[in-house]
Amino acid sequence: MTAEHVMMLVAGHTMLGAGFLALAEKFLPVVPSSALLILLGMNIVAGPGDLALMLLATTIGSSLGCLGLYALGMALGEGRCAAFVARYGRYLLLSRARYDRLVEGYRRRHFQVTFLGQTIPTARAYLPLPAGIFRMAPSRFMLAILLGTSLWNGGFLTIGYFMRLGA
From first to last of its 167 residues, the chain has per-residue pLDDT tens of 455 665 555 555 577 777 877 887 777 767 788 888 998 888 888 888 889 999 999 999 999 999 998 999 899 898 998 888 888 888 878 788 888 888 888 889 999 999 998 998 888 888 888 899 889 999 999 999 999 999 999 999 999 999 988 76
> What secondary structure does DSSP assign to 138-159, as a single string?
HHHHHHHHHHHHHHHHHHHHHH
Q: How far apart are CA 68 and CA 71, in angstroms?
A: 5
Q: What is the pTM for the complete model shown?
A: 0.80
pLDDT at 19: 81
CA end-to-end distance (rounded Å), the chain: 26
CA distances from 89 to 34, 98, 114, 133, 146 (A): 31, 10, 23, 17, 32
Residue pair 73/141 in contact (Cβ under 8 Å)? The answer is: no
pLDDT at 13: 56
> What secondary structure does DSSP assign to 23-88, as a single string?
HHHHH--SS-HHHHHHHHHHHT--SHHHHHHHHHHHHHHHHHHHHHHHHHHHHHHHHHHHHHHHHH
